Structure 1
Amino acid sequence: MSAHTITVAGVAVDTRHWIGGERVASAQTFPDVSPIDGSTIGEISRGTAMEATAAVAAAKAAFPAWAATSRAERARVLHAIADGVEKRIEELAIVETTDNGALLRSHRRGVMPRVAHNFRFFADWLLKLEHEDFETRGHSNHVSWDPAGPCVLITPWNAPLMLASWKVAPALAAGDTVVLKPAEWSPLTASLLADIAAEAGLPAGVLNVVQGYGSEIGDALTSHPDVRRISFTGSVPTAKRIAESAAANLTPLSLELGGKSPLLVFADADLDLAVGLAVEQYDNAGQVCLAGTRLLVEESVAEEFTRRFVEKASALKQGDPRDEATDVGPNIHPRQLEKIDGFVQRAVAAGARAVIGGHRGDGQYYAPTLLTDVAQDSEIVQEEVFGPVLTLQTFADEDEAVRLANGTRFGLAATVATGDPERAERVTARLVAGTVWVNCFFVRDLRAPFGGSRLSGVGREGGTWSFDFYCDVKNTVTAPNGWTNHG
């Protein structure tokens, strides 16, 4: 076994970068620490501008051949990657749980199978991607999707491999080459993806993985003149820095950013369903950008809703995410835990009441928390916490519900619980959000557009929208009867 290989729950993981089809070590490393118990998993190669430049160069060199590869062959390779993921679901699941603390049962049953599905979906969508030809005064118009070039894909730590696959799969399907930069708090499954892609026959340089701190490697990636697309999922402040960096080259951006999503509960809703949806917002220890962290409940049912919510939420088991019985695991990093607790303590000091939780547990665990008596303009209502912290406000009617729901700088998602389909139609039409769920949560079909409004993002991905971003969309207009026969 290489000196650069670590063993995570029996799974070998290479800690070096993957550039141009080869493993590349850096002069320095950074520690990767498990949020489960604070132990150091291993030392990871710490990339600099040198590795970033090398990765972009490898992607640029590999681009012409991959762009010229037939759709059928690209789709075949993506299906082979999906096969590789499916063969290693158990390994990927335990490595990612160790690395970022999310529930092992969720990784086994939902997340890793979804990673494979993402590759299969875009492989299949590629084969049927087309626009019907149309005529303009007898001239024919033909729309095509041309590969754009090397792409930089920057992914977060809360669902590392799944969110990477949402970007890597359509980019590769489009004929682009990729430099993937995983979050430094959860880099391991990106390294395993590089192995899986190579075993699936993806040519060298088509997928590159570079690790390190964004402050040290990020600008070299996002400001590089040879990069033709940048896709980022993460915080608003980081997105602004990326946008500034990309501006010199006018590099197109896709940004999926923070959320402060509302969950509206009307008096005519099935309260058991609504409570279940609300408690579900503690999934992944609240580290979900789409989470409906602002519970907005109609006044007449607020007391009953709160009683049922407290009963159900208090039954959640918090602990080791490797335990099948665990419902809420740890938060990713001590710095994130400090941030979460700071939000809660400032809110309580300002007059909020913690109905449940409101405190840390042992290690990197934060108790699931519900805060009431919060003002609409308060920090806890307006800013993304990214932890297991929900607020509850009440409303008198639809107008007030919509006003409160839309009353932040964000617009990523919204959830509506109601028993009246006409009300659902009225309210959803007025909500500012990229996705609205009615009497359900977190149902995502890759055929649908996905993205945020306001500070929650720029652009849409999913289905043809992904190809619109990762490709240069071309229209070819041909004159009627304009051919000269030289034969």
Structure 2
Amino acid sequence: MRKLREFYIGGRWVPALSTAGHTLIDSTTEQPFDTVALGGRNDVDAAVMAAKLAFPAWAASEPGERMALIRRIREIYSERVEDMARAISQEMAAPIELARTRQAPAALRHMTNFLAVMEHFEFVRQLGPHAPDDRILMEPIGVVGMITPWNWPMSQVALKVVPALLAGCTMVLKPSELAPLSSVLLAEIIHEAGAPAGVFNLIQGDGLTAGARLVEHPDVAMISFTGSTRAGASIMKGAADTFKRVALELGGKGANLIFADAEEDAVERGVRQCFINSGQNCNAPTRMLVERSIYDEAVEKARTAAQSIAVGPSSAEGAHMGPVISERQFDRVQSLIETGIREGARLVAGGIGRPAGFNRGFFVQPTVFADVSNDMMIAREEIFGPVLSILPFSDEEDAVAIANDTPYGLTNYVQSSDGARRNRLARRLQSGMVEMNGQPRGAGSPFGGVRHSGGAREGGVWGLEEYMVVKSVSGWAS
């Protein structure tokens, strides 16, 4: 793919200035299939300059013009959604059905939801009746550096690019070097939609070089990052000298609280939600907390559910679990499974090694541990693979104490037919999101966490305002 050795800067495809590259590996076959250029300092500087030059005109454009651009992007994206699904499936090994039904369409949903927010968004607001000549102006923050992950490539890219465009920002996107194909396709779509030159720029690269330069660049006003907590901490430090706004969406270790009065399918639902996308989800419910009176029954249900999950190549049709993205990720997951066994957790499904029938590829067995204590590494580390830990609790107080005993705070889950209990727990659980009884959060609900899970809010009006600064004005002429 020629454009993997080019970057989209200033409205055109230009050759990478850096000679470095990264070999892309097929996670099913372990064979290389292409090489992506890794941008250096000069590549980043060129992209930032293009965004800087484009900012004044784009910031001054009418909101309706920006909305029209997103509508054109959405229309073209819809026509190429199968291409996008295949790109995602190839680059990060999502099974093609998952790529078609969940991964690729996520960007379309985000576009639709942000356009709905824009219909009623006020860029100029009254302060209040006590100050009739005061106004609050919502203005674009400037050039935004965006660093996105490989696990949900288009979902995370769209959650940044779309609201930033609508806010009036210009941007430089650096996707993960492990998942470059989908962002190249998006750049083609944005170009075809007629985005002004320099408003959207794409560079490829790794975190240590291209990512670090974006973070430290004095002309970048904001960094929006999705990735590991470790990398998030590094970005905060790197951005400090230039006083950037930093929006972080980081890791998680979600607790799924299952009470005795939960729905019959609560355990199976929790297992499958943990293992979707091969467990490579920051909001996965990887700690299943079960009330003691139903604990043994829940463990058996979890075993049955895990053993019923088929594993297969990402290119194969059907609802199965694919491999994890890389050898490095495979080795990490295997090491943590070994750690769980060594720590004394009871292995009830899966375990070390590839599933039966696989002698190559980064395939991991759907793995379930029972009798886990919250001080074990498998209960504290974000594994980012198909590994579930089950812990017992005695009562509501005990469940809350265990759930909150983590440095993370992204998503927690509650399963109970007692509405008053659910409401109490929603307030007490220390996380940015709480999902209850299998009901997904609605369109426009913000995604984000607290503590080591970061503080960004992506989606809805909050996701739009992330890319704006608030200016207060007196003496406004009506």
Same fold, TM-score > 0.5, yes or no: yes
Q: State the partner residue of 1:470.
A: 467
CA drift of 1:194 comes to: 0.5
Q: State the partner residue of 2:84.
A: 92
In structure 2, which of residues 179, 197, 200 is the aligned counterpart of residue 204 of structure 1?
A: 197
Q: State the partner residue of 1:424.
A: 422
Task: Return the alpha-carbon distance in structure 2 between the equivalents of residues 454 and 299 of structure 1.
Answer: 29
- State whether structure 2 residue 12 is matched by structure 1 residue 22: yes
How many residues of Structure 1 are paired with residues of Structure 2 in the alignment?
Answer: 470
Q: State the partner residue of 1:438.
A: 436
Q: What does 1:211-360 correspond to in 2, within 5 Å?
A: 211-360=204-353
Task: Return the alpha-carbon distance in structure 1 between the equivalents of residues 110 and 403 of structure 2.
Answer: 31
Deviation string, structure 1 residues 121-150 (Cα, Å, up to 9, x no partner): 223422321275243645433222111111
Task: Return the alpha-carbon distance in structure 1 between the equivalents of residues 100 and 201 of structure 2.
Answer: 26
Task: Return the alpha-carbon distance in structure 1 between the equivalents of residues 90 and 243 of structure 2.
Answer: 39
Task: Return the alpha-carbon distance in structure 1 between the equivalents of residues 213 and 125 of structure 2.
Answer: 40
SS in 1 for 2:104: helix
Task: Return the alpha-carbon distance in structure 1 between the equivalents of residues 367 and 310 of structure 2.
Answer: 13
Q: State the partner residue of 1:168.
A: 161
Deviation string, structure 1 residues 303-351 (Cα, Å, up to 9, x no partner): 1112222222211110112222242100000001111111110121121
Contact 2:254 2:286 in 1 (8 A): yes
Task: Return the alpha-carbon distance in structure 2 between the equivalents of residues 416 and 124 of structure 1.
Answer: 29
CA drift of 1:80 comes to: 0.5
Pick closer, same or farther for the CA change 1:127–1:48 going to 2, 3 Å.
same
Moved more, 319-328 or 54-63: 319-328
Contact 1:319 1:326 in 2 (8 A): no
Q: State the partner residue of 2:35.
A: 43
Deviation string, structure 1 residues 75-112 (Cα, Å, up to 9, x no partner): 00011111111000111101110110112112212332
Q: State the partner residue of 2:393.
A: 395
Q: Which amino acid aligns with 2:378?
A: I
In structure 2, which of residues 430, 446, 450 is the aligned counterpart of residue 449 of structure 1?
A: 446
Q: Which amino acid aligns with 2:462?
A: W
Q: State the partner residue of 1:9.
A: none
Task: Return the alpha-carbon distance in structure 2 between the equivalents of residues 424 and 472 of structure 1.
Answer: 36
Q: What runs of 5+ residues in structure 2 fail to find an aligned partner?
A: none
Q: Which amino acid aligns with 1:343?
A: L
Q: State the partner residue of 1:121.
A: 113
Task: Return the alpha-carbon distance in structure 2 between the equivalents of residues 216 and 210 of structure 1.
Answer: 12
Contact 2:267 2:302 in 1 (8 A): no
CA drift of 1:353 comes to: 1.7
- State whether structure 2 residue 24 is matched by structure 1 residue 32: yes
SS in 1 for 2:392: strand
- State whether structure 2 residue 364 is matched by structure 1 residue 374: no
SS in 2 for 1:248: helix
CA drift of 1:14 comes to: 4.5
> Once the two structures are aligned, what percentage of the paired residues are identical?
36
Pick closer, same or farther for the CA change 1:204–1:306 going to 2, 3 Å.
same
Q: State the partner residue of 1:386.
A: 384
SS in 1 for 2:185: helix
Task: Return the alpha-carbon distance in structure 2 between the equivalents of residues 456 and 238 of structure 1.
Answer: 12
Q: State the partner residue of 1:146.
A: 139
Deviation string, structure 1 residues 135-172 (Cα, Å, up to 9, x no partner): 36454332221111110010001011111001100001
Contact 1:85 1:112 in 2 (8 A): no
Moved more, 133-142 or 38-47: 133-142
SS in 1 for 2:145: strand
Q: What is the TM-score normalised by the length of structure 2?
A: 0.95
Q: Which amino acid aligns with 1:428?
A: A
Deviation string, structure 1 residues 245-295 (Cα, Å, up to 9, x no partner): 110111001100000000010001113233223322100000000000000
Q: Which amino acid aligns with 1:469?
A: E
Q: What does 1:71-82 correspond to in 2, within 5 Å?
A: 71-82=63-74
Task: Return the alpha-carbon distance in structure 2 between the equivalents of residues 353 and 318 of structure 1.
Answer: 23
Q: State the partner residue of 1:10.
A: none
In structure 1, which of residues 176, 179, 186 is the aligned counterpart of residue 179 of structure 2?
A: 186
SS in 2 for 1:179: strand
Contact 1:320 1:326 in 2 (8 A): no
In structure 2, which of residues 64, 75, 79 is the aligned counterpart of residue 83 of structure 1?
A: 75
Pick closer, same or farther for the CA change 1:311–1:463 going to 2, 3 Å.
same
CA drift of 1:444 comes to: 4.0
Q: Which amino acid aligns with 2:334?
A: D
